[in-house]
């Protein structure tokens, strides 16, 4: 005999069919329990059929209609649209469980809890008995996805992964693009209970202030309050995009209420990102309460926008983040409220800043802002160039890591030419090349050749010792790279991304046969990069996988470094970028078994490929 499963009956209804006043005025009778006496059970069955006929019949009066709709409202309130931001009320039909039993556990042995049933199964159990249906377990258990058998702790970890800071899920006033936290809480009763017990999944808010209608903004206001309330006291991660808003003077009934809700929770702000924010926006009184009330703020990102000069406040100086005792990381575009022309070393507690990322500034502004950080450890300069700089070199003695991203050679050389970094140990230079059509190629002012004089000047001024070097797309030749690496005997980690203005090139300029032969350890020459323990290569196959590439990598395996001055390799990463998918697959297929020896010796080995997708293929 197949086992039977009692499933609480759930009737679906629409939100517009149920009024708040009806729900509050109508009382709900607790669900009757099934009788164990035969006569009582028969009587109950007869009453049940009668009750079913009455419930399926259409209501005969407005009063009866209200009672009819409300009798099922409490059992389905968890399925209503959360975008209303109304605190949902749970009736007795949802939470009747034996004493001491977990809410999500079934009341019967060897059965499935109703909260574990997928939504597409539930409607099939709503057409017979008004309170309970008997479901054949052998038929419906197979329809329950395995994810419904995961413990709540695992579900919580999975739900927390939705809050990816690199891929913000913008809060929308409509159901078309719903935030992950809302989607999870509407899937089933069990997932809702798990999501409501985890304030962390409600603690990331990404809001883009667009030209929405007033009703949409009112909906967004309610959603913001909902997220803020459900996050409880958990640290908040905010991402606010003000693109298109030059001021808040005419936004008192739309944008300002949202900001006011967030400001009220400023003591929970952990990371904050403001995009396209103008001086007129930052000077609005709604932001005044955050000054001195950001005790746990650790990461601040502000990308300023000058906006409309007539409407903006050119003399405004943003000092709202001056008193942030936990702030250690700042990323900014020095324009708008953070323009260097109207900032000074008193607008932030620069002495406590450990990481500074400057984006899209003139070189003079970038260097001046870098000089504020007396205790900086990591300095990142992204796309900073242009303008004129007539000052001397800027010394930042505490910086140990320098990252440069450039669209052309000038942006890369400026930082190398004017900075003095005595403690520098990590250098990362990235060339962000842009692909142009043939007719636009003449206008491309990219980076064609490597001039070593600038980096040699940095080394001579600083007297630093590099242990990590990463060159991504830098147009340096194999011979130039060999000469440069000869100046870094203490280098322990090397990452080379093959240069090339176009990603589909079939030949290597940097990672060539000559470079790999020099990288090989042998007894006939002095060791090259004797401290190297990690190497990452991003290259075209170019006929290297048969012998020269695996030989160079395997030669770095020194089982007993006490007998040799060369360190043993610990990590190898090789990625092929050939345009032809077959070429990349073949290269991976050939190289992988050749490096199996290193894997067996405990070296971390990764051999992979990337596929470039043309724009016409993406569309």
Q: What would the mean pLDDT of 434-446 be, rounded to a whole number?
A: 52
- Residue 37's φ and ψ, nearest 5 degrees, are -80, 135
Q: What would the mean pLDDT of 427-455 be, rounded to a whole number?
A: 73
Look at residue 93 and tell me whether its pLDDT is greater than 80: no
Question: What is the sign of the dihedral through the CA atoms of 335, 337, 343 and 349?
Answer: negative
Q: What would the mean pLDDT of 318-325 be, rounded to a whole number?
A: 90
Residue 269: its H or E element: strand 269-277
**CA-to-CA distance for 560 and 566, rounded, in angstroms?**
9
Confidence at residue 41, expressed as pLDDT on a 0 to 100 scale:
45
428: exposed, middle or buried (Cβ count in 10 Å: 0-12, 13-18, 19+): middle
- Residue pLDDT, tens place only, 191-228: 899 999 999 999 999 999 988 888 889 999 999 999 99
Confidence at residue 392, expressed as pLDDT on a 0 to 100 scale:
86
**CA-to-CA distance for 108 and 170, rounded, in angstroms?**
42
Look at residue 278 and tell me whether its pLDDT is greater than 90: no
Confidence at residue 561, expressed as pLDDT on a 0 to 100 scale:
58
- Residue pLDDT, tens place only, 13-51: 333 333 333 333 333 344 444 444 444 444 444 444 444
Band the pLDDT of 169: cuts 50, 70, 90: confident
The average confidence (pLDDT) of the chain is 75
Q: What percent of the chain has pLDDT over 90?
A: 40
Band the pLDDT of 480: cuts 50, 70, 90: very high
Look at residue 156 and tell me whether its pLDDT is greater than 60: yes
Band the pLDDT of 69: cuts 50, 70, 90: very low
Of 3-7, 337-341, 473-477, least confident by mean pLDDT is 3-7
76 versus 512: the higher-pLDDT residue is 512
- Residue pLDDT, tens place only, 101-118: 333 333 333 344 554 544
Q: Which residues of 358-378 are buried (b: 16+ CB within 10 A; e: fewer)?
A: bbbbbbbbbbbbbbbbeebbb
Q: What would the mean pLDDT of 431-448 be, rounded to a whole number?
A: 61
> What does the domain layout of the chain look like in residue ranges?
4-149, 160-351, 354-434+447-465, 480-619
3-class DSSP assignment, residue 540: coil
- Residue pLDDT, tens place only, 364-418: 889 888 988 889 999 999 999 877 787 888 999 999 999 999 988 889 998 899 9
Cβ partners under 8 Å of residue 440, min gap 6: none
185 versus 615: the higher-pLDDT residue is 185
Q: Tell me which residue of 398, 396, 455, 400 sits closest to 425, measured CA to CA.
A: 400
Band the pLDDT of 120: cuts 50, 70, 90: very low
Q: What would the mean pLDDT of 459-487 be, rounded to a whole number?
A: 94
Q: CA separation (Å) from 154 to 63, 110, 315, 413, 567? A: 46, 22, 52, 49, 41
276 versus 87: the higher-pLDDT residue is 276
Q: Tell me which residue of 24, 29, 73 sits closest to 51, measured CA to CA.
A: 29
Residue 616: its H or E element: helix 615-618
Confidence at residue 515, expressed as pLDDT on a 0 to 100 scale:
95
Residue 360: its H or E element: none
Contact at 8 Å (CB) between 556 and 521? yes
**CA-to-CA distance for 260 and 276, rounded, in angstroms?**
19
Look at residue 466 and tell me whether its pLDDT is greater than 60: yes
């Amino acid at each position: 005999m197949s086992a039977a499963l009692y499933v609480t009956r759930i009737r679906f209804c629409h939100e517009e069919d149920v009024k708040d006043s009806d729900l509050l005025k109508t009382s709900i009778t607790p669900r009757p329990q099934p009788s164990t006496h035969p006569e009582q059970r028969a009587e109950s069955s007869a009453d049940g059929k009668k009750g079913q006929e009455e419930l399926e019949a259409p209501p005969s009066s407005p009063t009866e209609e209200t009672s009819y709709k409300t009798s099922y409202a409490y059992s389905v309130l968890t399925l209503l649209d959360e975008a209303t931001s109304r605190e949902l009320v749970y009736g007795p039909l949802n939470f009747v469980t034996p004493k001491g039993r977990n809410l999500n556990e079934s009341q019967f042995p060897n059965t499935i809890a109703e909260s574990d049933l997928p939504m597409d199964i539930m409607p099939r159990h709503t057409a017979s008995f008004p309170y309970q249906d008997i479901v054949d377990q052998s038929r419906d258990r197979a329809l329950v996805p395995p994810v419904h058998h995961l413990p709540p702790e695992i579900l919580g970890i999975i739900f927390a992964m939705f809050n990816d800071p690199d891929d913000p899920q913008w809060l929308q006033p409509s159901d078309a693009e719903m935030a992950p936290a809302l989607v999870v809480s509407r899937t089933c009763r069990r997932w809702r209970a798990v999501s409501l017990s985890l304030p962390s999944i409600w603690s990331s808010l990404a809001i883009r202030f667009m030209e929405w209608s007033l009703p949409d903004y009112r909906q967004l206001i309610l959603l913001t309050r909902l997220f803020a309330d459900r996050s409880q006291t958990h640290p908040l991660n905010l991402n606010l995009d003000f693109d298109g808003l030059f001021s808040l003077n005419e936004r008192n009934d739309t944008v300002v209420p949202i900001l006011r809700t967030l400001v009220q929770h400023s003591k929970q702000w952990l990371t904050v990102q403001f995009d396209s924010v103008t001086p007129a926006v930052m000077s609005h009184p709604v932001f005044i309460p955050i000054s001195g009330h950001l005790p746990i703020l650790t990461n601040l990102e502000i990308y300023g926008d000058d906006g409309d000069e007539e409407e903006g406040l050119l003399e405004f100086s943003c000092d709202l983040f001056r008193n942030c005792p936990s702030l250690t990381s700042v990323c900014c575009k020095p324009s708008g409220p953070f323009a260097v022309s109207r900032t000074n070393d008193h607008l932030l507690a620069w002495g406590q800043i450990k990481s500074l990322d400057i984006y899209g500034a003139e070189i003079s502004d970038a260097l001046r802002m870098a000089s504020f950080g007396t205790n900086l450890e990591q300095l990142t300069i992204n796309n900073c160039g242009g303008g004129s700089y007539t000052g001397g070199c800027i010394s930042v003695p505490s910086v140990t890591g320098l990252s440069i991203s450039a669209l052309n050679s000038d942006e890369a050389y400026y930082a190398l030419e004017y900075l003095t970094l005595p403690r520098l140990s990590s250098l990362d230079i990235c060339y962000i090349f842009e692909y142009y059509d043939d007719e636009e190629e003449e206008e491309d002012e990219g980076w064609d050749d490597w001039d070593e004089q600038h980096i040699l000047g940095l080394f001579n001024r600083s007297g630093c010792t590099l242990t990590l070097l990463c060159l991504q797309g830098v147009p340096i030749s194999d011979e130039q790279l060999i000469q440069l690496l000869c100046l870094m005997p203490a280098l322990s980690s090397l990452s080379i991304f093959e240069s090339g203005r176009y990603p589909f090139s079939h030949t290597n300029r940097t990672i060539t046969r000559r470079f790999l032969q020099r990288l090989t350890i042998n007894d006939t020459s002095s060791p090259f990069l004797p401290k190297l323990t990690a190497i990452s290569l991003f290259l075209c196959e170019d006929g290297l996988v048969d012998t020269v590439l695996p030989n160079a990598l395997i030669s770095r395996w020194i089982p007993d470094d006490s007998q040799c001055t060369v360190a043993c390799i610990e990590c190898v990463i090789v990625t092929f970028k050939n345009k032809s998918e077959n070429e990349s697959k073949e290269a991976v297929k050939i190289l992988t078994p050749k490096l199996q020896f290193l894997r067996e010796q405990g070296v971390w080995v990764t051999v992979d490929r990337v596929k470039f997708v043309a724009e016409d293929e993406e569309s």
